[in-house]
Amino acid sequence: MTMKKQTAGAVTVAAGIVCVAASVAWRLGLMETWIAIVLNVVAFPFFLVALGLWWNAAEKEGDTPFIGY
């Protein structure tokens, strides 16, 4: 199973926005602490893994493997 670069990028951005928005809203007193924590706990793992998959994913097809003489 491979994730396309575009999909991984979208998940990274979405999860990153959730983390940052929840953190900022909590700092400004617009969000309860426990809600901000839950959002961060849920989104942070997706952010971290998708970030790795995003910068890891190839943008073009791989080389044709060597199939023998």
* Residues in contact with another protein by the rule CB under 8 A: 1-2, 19-20, 22-23, 26-27, 33, 36-37, 40-42, 44-46, 48-49, 51-53, 55-56
- Please state the closest distance from residue 40 (CB atom) to another protein, in A: 5
- Please state the closest distance from residue 69 (CB atom) to another protein, in A: 26
Which residue lies nearer to another protein by CB, 10 or 37?
A: 37
Q: Are 4 and 49 in contact, with CB atoms under 8 Å apart?
A: no
Greatest C-alpha distance within the chain: 68
Q: Which helix (H) or strand (E) holds 68?
A: none
Q: What tokens were used for 69? A: 């003489």
